[in-house]
Structures are given as C-alpha cells and as structure tokens.
Structure 1
Amino acid sequence: MPNFHLELDSNLVIPTPNFVPSSSGLLLPRQSANPKAYPLAIDLFCGAGGFSLGFMQAGFQVVAAADNNVHAALTYMHNLGAYPCQFHYGSEDDRIQLEKALLSQCREIQSDSTVQIPFISGGGWRKAHPDVPGCPHFYLGDICQLNGEELLGWLGVKRGEVDVIIGGPPCQGFSRMNRNRNPNDPRNRLIFEFARLICEINPKFFVLENVPELATMTTPEGIPVLDAFCQCLDERGYSSYQALKSSLKTQHNWVSTQSTNPAKSKAKSRDKADSQYEQLDLF
C-alpha cells in the first residue's frame, strides 16, 4: 500500500475569536484548546484549611478561600497559600486586625530562637509539595459582605466556570455538643449565605460539611433547615427543590418532613395567618 502524506494549506486555516488552530492544524474551540490544568474550587468558611487540603490532594486548585478569623487566615495562607497571595477584606477593621496579627507573630519569632521560619504564604505544607497550586486569593471578613460577582472578578472567571464550592458553615449552633441549641442562634443563618453564594457563582456542584443535627434543626419559622436550604437554591434557579431533596436522601438517607417546597405550601395556605410555612426572607 503506498504511503500518503497530507500537508495542510495554512491558507485554509482561518482562526476566529472562538476557534484557534491546534498543533495538528485542526480548528478547536478556544476553551478546549486551552484546558484548565486543575478543576477550580472555592472554599467558604475555610477555617485553617482542612477541607481545602483534602481537595488539593485530590487534584483541585483552590482559587479562593474565605473566613472571618484572622488567625485561621494566617494558618491557611502559610500552609496552602500561593506566593504572592492577595488578601481581600470585608472592612478596614479586618485589614487592621490582620496587620496586628502579623506584627505580633513577627515579634514572637524575633524573641524565640527556636522558631526559624517566618510567615510566608505557602511556606508551610506547600513548601514540601511545590507541585500543588496554592490558593491565590483570601477573603477576610464577614461572609455576608462577600459578593459572588466580585469574587469571580478577582479570579478572572465567569459565572458557571467554577467547578465546586466547598465549605463548612459554623456548626456550633447545630452541634450535639451545644446543649443550648436554639433555632434563633444567628450562626445558624450563615448556611443560607453559603446558599446565596452558590447561586451567585453557579458552580457545577457544591460540597457542604455534614453536621448530623443539621437534619433535625428548624429555622425560627419552624421550617427544617435543610428544606429551607433547598428552597433557597430552588428560588434562585440553581436546582429544583425536589432534586436537591432526592440527592440528600440518596447520600444521607435524610427524609424531609415536608412533601413540597415551603414557598409553594405557603401559597396554598395564604389565607391561614398562622401557617407554619411562612416563606423565608433570607436575602
């Protein structure tokens, strides 16, 4: 069989804004021609970084993290941060608190001869794992002040391009260790800020820390917290209420005490002033 040699005529390859030539000469969609090396993750309520560490070890790049605790922020960025890293603040007071914590740490290092390594972003765990991309953005402050569009702007990506949002909203109000669990605990409402940011960023999926009593706690309005969480995502178009409930049942054998969306239940019983299904005004 004769050998055939095909040469591409470069004049026939016409790049466009949406297509670029590959090394083989084929025109490929610009997005597929430059694939991401790592799936992208955002860690909300990140604490010292345990959740992020697991995802980094699993092959994700955590591109942004957020918490309101300055000491957790320093621990996180020392171990998992990129160099250089960029801090963003909820308020000027958050910036001042971070600077004070850094100065205090520097004084301790100078007075303690046993401490050899100063604070450097990525100078902890990542120093021994330089092949793992560090987190380049950290938001320090009140999560209620964090805007999804603004966060995406820091990263240079569009809504829907982040692969996963992970996080563990404060569990103290739900924890069995808290003998004074109260639906009115203000920390319990932060799970709905997590829902808000999911809807604003629109990741392909999200991972929420599993706290057992989350399945039994109710909101001040008497709606199960997980029902209310599903309602928030449904109302903002992230997924359907029933699909979210089905996912929770499949993964954790959680059975809702409500058969329908609380908002729809309210509409059916609007004439009952004392209805237990008052629609949440969360945002």
Structure 2
Amino acid sequence: MGSSPEKVPFISLFSGAMGLDLGLEQAGFETRVAVEFDADAVKTIRHNRPTLPLVDRSIELTDGEELLRLSGLKRGEVPLVVGGPPCQAFSVIGKRRGLEDRRGQMVYEFVRIINETQPRSFVMENVRGMLSMSLRSTSDPAATKEEVAHGSLLRDVIQKFEAIGYRVDCFVVNAVNYGAPQQRERVILIGNREGKVANFPGPTHSNREPDGLPPFRTLEHAIGKDFVDPDPSLLNFSPRKLHYLAMVPEGGNWRSLPPEIQKESMGKSWGLKGGRSAYWRRLSFAFPSPTVVTMPNHASTSMCHPRETRAITVGEAAAIQEFPSSWSFRGTTQAKFRQVGNAVPVRLGEIVGKVVSQLLTAQAFDEVATPSRIIHIRPHVRTRSFWKNGVALSGDHDYYAGQLREDAS
C-alpha cells in the first residue's frame, strides 16, 4: 500500500470556530498554528484540537517570528497563511463603520503578518460588504475624494499586498453555487508572490434549468428527517414572536399573515420600503437556507424551523454550515451561535483549498505578471420569492416553479 499524500501546512489567523480551516484540511492541508482572540472560540479550538499550538490573544500582540516558531516553518517557505479578519465593520447588516471600527483595522494586521512570514500564498476572506467600503467616512473633513470613494478600502488592501510582492485574485462567490445548503456570499482574496493566476471554479449547482447543473442542495439535505442534532441548544423567540410565527406556513414570511396581523405584529416596520423578506420568516425544507446569522431569533432576521415553531438550534445551524457532527462548540448558547454564524462554510473552505493547491503546483509566469483582479462568480442568487402578482408565496410549490426561473439572477 502507498503512503498517504503529505499534508500541506498553513498558518491560521482569526481562526474563529475553524470553519475555513476544516475545509482546507479536507482539501489536503494541515493547520500548524492558530491565532484567535475570542475567549469562547479559544475554548472551542482547545476542546476539538487540544494539541494544536494556539495564540490566544489579539493578533496585534503577536508577530511573524512567533508564528513561524510555533508552526515549525521558515520565513519565505510557508505554503499558505489564511484568515478572515472580523467582518462586523463591513457587514451590510451592521453599522458599516469600516476602519472607524477597530475590528475593521484588523485587515492591515493580516497584511503585516503576511509581510513578516512571506508565505508563498495567502487566503483572506470577508463579507460581501467589504466590496463597497470606503477608507474614510464622508463626514471626515480631512478625507480625500479617493478615500471616500466606493470600494476604496478593498483597492487599498490589494495595493498593500502588491507593495510587499503579491498579486491578488479577488473572487466574489456564493456557497450555494458549490453544493452548500445555504445562501452565503463571501469575498475571497487569494494572493501569491510568484506571479501566478488563481482560477476559482464556476458553479457546480444551479436553480436555472438551462444551466444543466444539479439543483441547489436544500435545507432538507442539511437537517431533514434523518438529522440527529448534536447540540440542541436554543436561543428561542419570545412568546410574542412565537405567537405570530405560529401563523406562518413553511417557507412563508410576514406576507403570509392577514394584513391586520401584519400591521399589528410589525408596528412601524410594516410601512418601510423594501421586501423585508426575513421578517417573521419560517424556513423551508424545499429551498436552500438563507445565510446563517449569529442571532436567529430576531423577528427581522428570523430563522424559524420549517415544521416546529421555534428558532433553529446550534446543531442545526452548524449542520447548515456543514461542520462535522463531532465538532463541539464551547461557551454559552449565544457564544456558540456567534461562532457558527461568523464561520466560513466548511464546503467553501474546501473549494478554496483546491484552488490554492492548483496554484501552488502551477508553474510561475516568466512574462509580465497579470494585474490583480476582482471577479464576480454569480454571487447574488435568488432562490425564491415570497410575493408575486399580489399573492403571498410559501414553500409549498415546486423548486423550479415558473416564478423562480423568472426571478433568478
């Protein structure tokens, strides 16, 4: 019998609950050292990986020399450094304070570690909101036109990488296109210092029949009838919220309620513009899950179980993110949800790992390097509608029903 292929070592920054790391490991990589500041995520890592070297303090308080020593690797010979700097400062759900939020400044700490370790390649992931963030706020009187421009933060980060010798391929992707049972858009930066071009694969699944691809995997694939919940911890809705959610059919939302109940339950939110599709939302087994959030029991970002009138559990959320059932999350229930909701889908981490593997084994270019680039690979996907032609739609219609084909982007 032949020996197993040797694992490719990497350094993990902003490791969180290790969703990205687990995906990379499935693609043939090996986590050599992790850096994580959040106390609950540290407990999760130590519980599941007790022998893994772990720097349990802010990345600001470590440096490349320490990480190289703990990983047993040498500067310039590290195959890969990965990480997802805190995304709350860029998320469209949050206040989007960008670099005014200390967490937003962590992207430059990532650049610093790359410069100090000089890996052959790196992967930095973040939320889609990073695409539009500006370096400085328009309210800052000292800000220049370039600094407040749409997307100036990402352009600056890429330029910082280029200044230390890396070219960057930035991919805007959606995990649902690759077989994940969840809609989740992410920005993936893949850099290398050998002038190579990273190529992210096209979708392997689709909700458009003409694409000729397997249909999207659904919530039923993740937590259907044979699902055994490894962690039934629950942040449930309040009695008032449960009262209204009990009236919503599987796959429906506030549109499914009688008009007088809509107004009563939503208050001022009822008159706001926009679809508000997540308000009083009950999930459907027939469709992919919406993006797993850190607090599934909010009325406006409701993740109510399809058949039971309750919020999804920690175990269900983790299964949607495709964590192994044996992976145990530590901390309070709220802390567990924060770790799961902030994680990279494991499947997406595996796809990224395969891209990096191809990049590392490809031959470098002799000619002038291709410029860094940003590529969108069908990131915005609409899998369903809640309202069409004056009729509220729930989850009781065919996956490839006509309105889905019309609404799919």
TM-score when scaled to structure 2? 0.37
Residue correspondence of structure 1 range 1-283 to structure 2 within 5 A: 37-82=6-51, 136-179=52-95, 181-220=97-136, 221=143, 222=147, 224-239=152-167, 246-250=371-375
CA distance, structure 2, for counterparts of residue 194 and residue 156 of structure 1: 20
CA distance, structure 2, for counterparts of residue 69 and residue 179 of structure 1: 21
Cα deviation for residue 251 of structure 1 reads: 5.8
Cα deviations by residue, 1:25-67 (Å, 9 ceiling, x for unpaired): xxxxxxxxxxx82101111100111111111122111001001
> Structure with the greater relative contact order (CA < 8 A, sep ≥ 6): 1 or 2?
2
CA distance, structure 1, for counterparts of residue 96 and residue 131 of structure 2: 17
Work out whether residues 168 and 372 of structure 2, in 8 Å CA contact, stay in contact via their aligned partners in 1.
Answer: no
**Counterpart AA for 2:92:** R
**Counterpart AA for 2:159:** Q
Work out whether residues 176 and 213 of structure 1, in 8 Å CA contact, stay in contact via their aligned partners in 2.
Answer: yes
Q: Secondary structure at the match of 1:174?
A: coil
Structure with higher Rg: it is 1
Q: Secondary structure at the match of 1:209?
A: strand
CA distance, structure 1, for counterparts of residue 8 and residue 93 of structure 2: 36
Work out whether residues 36 and 58 of structure 2, in 8 Å CA contact, stay in contact via their aligned partners in 1.
Answer: yes
Cα deviation for residue 78 of structure 1 reads: 1.5
**Counterpart AA for 2:47:** H
5+ residue gaps, structure 1, are 1-35, 83-135, 255-283
Q: Secondary structure at the match of 2:33?
A: strand
Work out whether residues 88 and 96 of structure 2, in 8 Å CA contact, stay in contact via their aligned partners in 1.
Answer: no
Cα deviation for residue 239 of structure 1 reads: 4.0
Cα deviations by residue, 1:204-242 (Å, 9 ceiling, x for unpaired): 21111131111110112516111111222222233489x
Cα deviations by residue, 1:121-147 (Å, 9 ceiling, x for unpaired): xxxxxxxxxxxxxxx310011111211
Question: Structure 1 residues 180 and 51, CA, compared in 2 at 3 Å: closer, same or farther?
Answer: closer
Work out whether residues 49 and 80 of structure 1, in 8 Å CA contact, stay in contact via their aligned partners in 2.
Answer: no
Q: Secondary structure at the match of 1:71?
A: helix
Question: Structure 1 residues 194 and 252, CA, compared in 2 at 3 Å: closer, same or farther?
Answer: farther
Task: State the Cα RMSD in Å.
Answer: 3.0
Cα deviations by residue, 1:62-106 (Å, 9 ceiling, x for unpaired): 001001112101101221343xxxxxxxxxxxxxxxxxxxxxxxx
Identity, in percent, stands at 35
TM-score when scaled to structure 1? 0.52
Compare the two structures and name the one with the higher helix fraction.
1
